[in-house]
Amino acid sequence: MKQFKTESKKMLDMMINSVYTNREIFLRELISNASDAIDKRYFRSLTDQSFALPREEYGIDISIDKENRIIKITDNGCGMTESELEENLSTIAHSGSGTFKSENTDENISIIGQFGVGFYSAFMISKKISVRTRAIGSDTAFCWESEGTEGYTITPCDYEPFGSEITLYIKEDTETENFTEFLDQYKIKGLVKRYSDYIRYPIRMDMEITKPQYSDDENAEPKYETTIENQTLNSMVPLWHRNASEVTEEEYNDFYKSAFFDYNAPAKTIQAHIEGTVEYETLMFIPQKAPVDYYSKGYEKGLTLYSNGVMIMDKCPDLLPDYFNFVKGIVDSSDLTLNISRETLQQNYQLRTIAKSLEKKIRSELSKLMTQDREKYTGFFKEFGAVLKFGVYNDYGANKDTLKDLLVFKSVATDNYISFKEYTEAMPEDQKAIYYASAATEELAKSLPRTNLVRSKGYDVLLFTDEVDEFVATTLGTYADKNFINVTSGNLDLSSDDEKESVNTLNEESKDLLAFMGEVLKGEVKSVRFSNSIGEHPVSLVSEGYISAEMARVLSQLPGRENMNLAQTVLEINMNHKLTESLKNLFESDKEKLTAYTEILYAQARLISGLDVKDPVKLSSQICDLL
């Protein structure tokens, strides 16, 4: 008996004691070795006909002997010579190990990551493994056998065909561990489907099929008949390897629905073959509807990652930025090595390159959908727009430029959802800024006095009804060099010089009146003033400084902030309203009544802005007194 090299021994120890918890991958590893071996034979046969097979005869066979606890995996690939057996199965392959140095603190996992799990993973479920193999063109066959860390033997043996036969002697169950499940034909079939569905060669297995026998006699006990059916378990050609023009929309939709558990067809299907520093294929879907768990903590983003048709990871999160976390789909790249572990993927250069190019692709496809089918895009945006908006202001706006052109908002002039680009392009020449009205509902935002004033100048107004919308605008700062201005902002500045002059004069003349009213509302507003920018309404609340009244409303809903007056609010009184004269008169004749008027007007302004009234009972009796 020969001894394994130290490193191999360490690895084997880990496999046998199974620190690597994902046991079921053993089958994936053995099948992809078999597939590689067939590739090698096939390519060699192109120059040496003596061991060529008709293409359809290449394949991988699995058999299960439940009674004797044996699984066999047989391939008609290139096989191994004696020295190849020694080299390949008795020392650890160092392929790709240099790239991932052990930054991981968990030493075991990182070693597996460095060397790949490979053939040895079969020791996770096997107490003994034997490999009978005959290399193409060779007269002698050899048998490699090992029960694990003790060592291995290589002896000549009888094995007729070219290729390899791997025999796994499955471990006995223990109190805590179930190995017998791997002797179940449906379990094995499931694993082939899950991990190896797109291996190019057929993976065949004899399946025991039990069917009821029907008889004419209705009262007869039902009889069952068991037959053996040799089935090809894998579908071989993945959808994304087929020419896009040959795949029907229905096929794409069916694949999406079954692979990603959705009842609805996707809003958009994206298929691409990307060549560049890293070559890969991708098939992605933008769902129509958010999954039920989408806005919960349990939702996991990610694309399924394949290396040449072999599944490496179910939901690889590093392929998608958070703001595109709704995208479903797969990535398949032959530039990725199979033996990459979940832990080392993050540091992988190829993966980062793919992720970057996917991001660009998703962005351009979304923007295409936006121009080509606005209705569909709006539907998508209603489901997932919150995530895009979050992407804009998250990370201090690091990704705002990637995302700003994917946002749409309802506009008053078009009564449709439009982008900032469309808004700014349609602006009249004299319009200085992008105007938005912010409120809890569309109706409220539309009916704000200032919204109508801005509209009367011929300018469009965007309706910000999502609590985060103003944060988005604040993060963006400008779009196409235009500032975002809340219509209720103190610096709306739509008046002509003459108009400004007359407002200033009135405010100057009424200094004492306004100061009195300001004193009444002390702690509520910063000041009171006359204005000609209110439109029809008698009063309006405007804000000065960074935070608008609507943002203050949102912030005040946060726990602990209820009593904070965050906005620097100003109460504006319409100078063109007949109210102005009454206020002036009251200041001379009845200060008590003026106090009540001031409080009522302030309450009214709050209501119009969608804010609540602090003391409704008092307000109600004040109104009654006046009537």
User: What does the binding site for ligand ADP look like in residue numbers (CB under 6 A)?
Assistant: 29, 33-34, 37, 75, 77-80, 88-89, 93, 95, 116, 118-119, 164, 339
Write down the least CB distance from residue 242 to ligand ADP, Å: 27
Nearer to ligand ADP, 117 or 284 (CB): 117
Write down the least CB distance from residue 87 to ligand ADP, Å: 8
The pair of structure tokens assigned to 249 is: 């929309």
CA distance 86 to 71: 23
Write down the least CB distance from residue 257 to ligand ADP, Å: 34
The pair of structure tokens assigned to 256 is: 């999406």
Nearer to ligand ADP, 132 or 171 (CB): 132
First to last CA, the chain: 108
CA distance 303 to 282: 9
Residue 506 near residue 530 (C-beta atoms within 8 A)? yes
Question: Residue 64 CB: number of other CB atoms within 10 A?
Answer: 22
Write down the least CB distance from residue 167 to ligand ADP, Å: 12
DSSP assignment letter at 489: B
Q: Where are the beta strands (DSSP E) in 70-199?
A: 70-75, 126-134, 141-146, 152-157, 163-170
Nearest position to ligand ADP, beta carbon = 118
Write down the least CB distance from residue 115 to ligand ADP, Å: 8
Q: Name the one residue in this structure whose structure tokens are 């006909």.
A: 49
Nearer to ligand ADP, 87 or 509 (CB): 87
The strand order across the sheet containing 482-486 reads 417-418, 409-411, 462-464, 433-438, 482-486, 478-479
Write down the least CB distance from residue 303 to ligand ADP, Å: 23
Helix (H) or strand (E) holding 392: helix 374-393
Nearer to ligand ADP, 90 or 532 (CB): 90
Nearer to ligand ADP, 339 or 488 (CB): 339
Whole-angstrom CA distances from 355 to 216, 260, 282, 331, 385 are: 62, 20, 11, 10, 21
Write down the least CB distance from residue 173 to ligand ADP, Å: 26
Write down the least CB distance from residue 78 to ligand ADP, Å: 6
Nearer to ligand ADP, 33 or 350 (CB): 33
Helix (H) or strand (E) holding 331: strand 328-332
Residue 305 near residue 336 (C-beta atoms within 8 A)? yes
Q: In the beta sheet, which residues pair with residue 303? A: 316
Nearer to ligand ADP, 75 or 383 (CB): 75
Bridging pattern class, strands 482-486 and 433-438: parallel
Write down the least CB distance from residue 95 to ligand ADP, Å: 5
Write down the least CB distance from residue 29 to ligand ADP, Å: 6
Write down the least CB distance from residue 89 to ligand ADP, Å: 6
Handedness of CA 150, 156, 158, 164 (dihedral sign): positive
Nearer to ligand ADP, 77 or 329 (CB): 77
Write down the least CB distance from residue 159 to ligand ADP, Å: 12
Nearer to ligand ADP, 337 or 367 (CB): 337
Nearer to ligand ADP, 88 or 622 (CB): 88
Nearer to ligand ADP, 163 or 287 (CB): 163
Q: Where are the beta strands (DSSP E) in 171-278?
A: 203-213, 223-232, 268-274
Nearer to ligand ADP, 14 or 542 (CB): 14
* 311 CB burial (10 A radius; 0-12, 13-18, 19+): buried
Residue 549 near residue 569 (C-beta atoms within 8 A)? yes
Nearer to ligand ADP, 340 or 494 (CB): 340
**Cα–chain-centroid distance for residue 203?**
33
Nearer to ligand ADP, 17 or 83 (CB): 83
CA distance 201 to 232: 10
Write down the least CB distance from residue 19 to ligand ADP, Å: 17
CA distance 609 to 556: 14
CA neighbor of 68 nearest in space, from 128, 145, 132, 4: 128
97 by DSSP, 3-state: which? coil
Single-letter code of the amino acid located at 251: E
Write down the least CB distance from residue 101 to ligand ADP, Å: 18
With b for 16 or more beta-carbon neighbours within 10 A and e for fewer, the 424-437 pattern comes to beebeeebebbbbb
Which conformational region is residue 483 in: left (phi greater than 0), alpha (psi within -120 to 50 degrees), or beta?
beta
Write down the least CB distance from residue 118 to ligand ADP, Å: 3
CA distance 76 to 556: 71
Nearer to ligand ADP, 164 or 531 (CB): 164
* Helix ranges (DSSP H) in 58-126: 82-90, 107-115
